[in-house]
Each structure stands twice: as C-alpha cells, then as structure tokens.
C-alpha cells in the first residue's frame, strides 16, 4: 500500500512539473534595446535571426512577465513613402573570395541570409566582360542574372559596376562568374551589396523590457486578437530599436496566463482519478483483512 501511494505521489509531482505549453522552449533569446517609452518600436531582423529561425514563423516578442506581445513583420512592400522605403534598404561592403577556373573568374560573396538585390563591383580596371550570377543556399544553387559588365568610356575607370536582380529569397552566398575570355582577370578593390531589410514592429507600453525569442521548429506564425497594423510604418511614430547579443543556451519561458486554465483543466480530473484509485485500493485491503 505504501509503495503504491509513493508511486502515485511521484506521478502527481511529474504531472504538476510538466509544462503543457509546447511552444515555450526557444533556442535563442535576444534583448530588444529601446528607449522604454510608450509607442511603436521596430527592430531589423538580421542574419542571425534568418539563420536560426524557422522561416520567421517562430518569432515571439516576450515582455518581462514572459507574456507574448503582438507584432507584425514589415517589408519594403508595406512602405508607401520614399522615406519609409529607404529605411528598408541596407548597403554594406561584403566579404568575398576570388578564384580562377580557366579563363573564368569565380567570385563568391557572403550574403549572410539577407535578401540581396544589387551587387556593386569597385575596380580601377577598364573592363568589358560577360557574367552569370547565382544565389547559393545550403540546399541549392539558382540563377539570378546574366549580362555584360562594362565601365566604358575610360574617363571614369573607377565607376561602380552594378548588377541588379529581382524575385529572390534570402541567400547564404552569391556566386559571380566573370567570363574573361582573352582579357586579364579583373582586379577588384571591393564589393558592395544592397539588401532589402525585414523589420519586426510591436507596441511598447513603456512598463516592461522586451525580448525576441526564436529557434523552435514546432511553432507556426502567431495570430493575435489585437494585431499590429502594418499601416503604421508610413507614419512618423516608429522608433528604431536594436537587438542585443544572441544567447544560444536553451531558455524556457513561463507560459502565458491563458495556458494556466488549460493546465488546471487537465490536472483536476487527474487528481480526482488518483484519489478514487487510492480509495478503491484501501477498500480492497480492508475486505482482505
């Protein structure tokens, strides 16, 4: 009898300790660094978010009570003014590696999982070449663009050579194949890449600290009763915030309050069953005695 009661007690403790909120485990947490004032805030989703998130479906904004905060994902397509559109574009110098294969120059450029759309070659050489450009991910390589590279007339031999393309998802790398034919390989000074940024917009109530959590393959895009309207990105009311360092240790967030009722609905019937089971065993023992 005592052994049975001990087993039932252990089961009860496990039941109470087991979280029923399956989506509460995230592999990555980042502090949102803002001015802590009331208003709409936005953060740029960088290469680390793209690399470690489940296609942005598992993003969650949590306050200091570990409650979910409604947010919206905004892109350049949601901007209607030139100022708003410019805020979604980033130009930066990219790292690259150049190799030779026969008469072709193969240039591999780091795109860092971002949505690149323009490539600028900086060179002092006078060039006239043909090229092919490809996007590279872990799974595949796909075509982006092809055409001619030329910086003639030679009066401005340091002009930027730009390659544009459209309709591409975020890529890990860009592979530029320059066909030199009988000409010498191009000597590059640098390469610039332009990206379309993606932003996460949420409302700061001014009474909490906020974190961005992601890295959970079981979660899908959240649907909120009070969503954030995408139209607000065209108003002058959004403050740009930044993301802190990525913490990769698994973190268990406290379930939102809405899940506590579901847990009680599961625990109470289990307690009743356990209690009735104990009474039944005791009656059986008394009859045997």
**What letter would DSSP give residue 1?**
-
- pLDDT at site 173: 93
> What residues does 115 pair with on adjacent strands?
196
- pLDDT at site 226: 82
pTM of the model: 0.69
- pLDDT at site 194: 94
Of 134, 136, 135, 186, whose CA–CA distance to 161 is shortest? Answer: 186
Exposure class string for 23-53: b at 16+ Cβ within 10 A, else e:
bbbbbbbbbbebeeeeebbbbbbbebbbebb
R_g over Cα of the chain: 28
Strands (E), the chain: 25-26, 28-33, 39-44, 60-62, 68-69, 71-74, 89-93, 96-101, 104-110, 115-123, 128-136, 141-150, 161-164, 173-179, 188-196, 199-204, 211-214, 238-243, 251-252
Per-residue pLDDT of the chain (289 residues; tens, 9 = 90+): 555 455 445 444 444 433 334 445 899 999 999 998 999 999 999 989 988 998 899 999 999 999 999 999 999 999 888 888 998 999 999 999 999 999 999 999 998 888 999 999 998 888 889 999 999 987 789 999 999 988 776 545 455 678 999 867 788 899 999 999 998 998 999 999 999 999 999 999 998 999 999 999 888 988 888 888 888 877 767 899 999 999 986 645 444 444 444 444 545 666 655 666 676 666 766 666 5
- pLDDT at site 104: 95
Pick left, alpha or beta for residue 163 (phi over 0 → left; psi -120 to 50 → alpha; otherwise beta).
beta
DSSP notation for 19-81: ---GGGEESEEEEEE----SEEEEEE--HHHHHHSSTTTT-EEE-TT--EE-EEEE-GGG--S
């Amino acid at each position: 009898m005592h052994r049975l009661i001990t087993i039932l007690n252990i089961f009860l403790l496990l039941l109470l300790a087991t979280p029923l909120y399956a989506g509460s485990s995230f592999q990555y947490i980042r502090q949102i660094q803002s001015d802590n004032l009331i208003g709409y805030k936005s953060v740029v989703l960088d290469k680390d978010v793209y690399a470690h998130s489940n296609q942005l479906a598992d993003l969650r904004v949590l306050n200091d009570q570990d409650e979910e905060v409604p947010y919206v994902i905004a892109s350049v397509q949601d901007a209607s003014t030139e100022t708003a559109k410019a805020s979604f574009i980033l130009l930066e110098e990219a790292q690259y590696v150049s190799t030779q294969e026969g008469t072709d120059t193969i240039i591999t450029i780091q795109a860092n999982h971002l949505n690149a759309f323009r490539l600028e070659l900086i060179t002092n050489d006078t060039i006239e070449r043909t090229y092919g450009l490809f996007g590279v991910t872990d799974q595949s390589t796909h075509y982006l663009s092809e055409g001619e590279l030329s910086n003639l007339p030679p009066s401005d031999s340091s002009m930027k050579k730009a390659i544009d393309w459209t309709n591409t998802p975020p890529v890990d790398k860009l592979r530029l194949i320059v066909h030199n034919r009988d000409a010498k390989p191009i000597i590059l000074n640098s390469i610039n890449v332009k990206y379309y940024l993606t932003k996460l917009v949420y409302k700061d109530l001014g009474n909490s600290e906020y974190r961005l959590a992601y890295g959970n393959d079981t979660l899908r895009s959240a649907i909120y009763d009070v969503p954030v309207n995408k139209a607000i990105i065209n108003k002058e009311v959004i403050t740009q915030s930044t993301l802190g360092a990525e913490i990769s240790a698994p973190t268990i967030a406290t379930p939102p309050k809405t899940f506590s009722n579901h847990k009680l609905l599961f625990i109470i019937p289990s307690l009743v069953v356990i209690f009735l089971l104990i009474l039944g065993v005791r009656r059986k023992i008394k009859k045997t005695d």
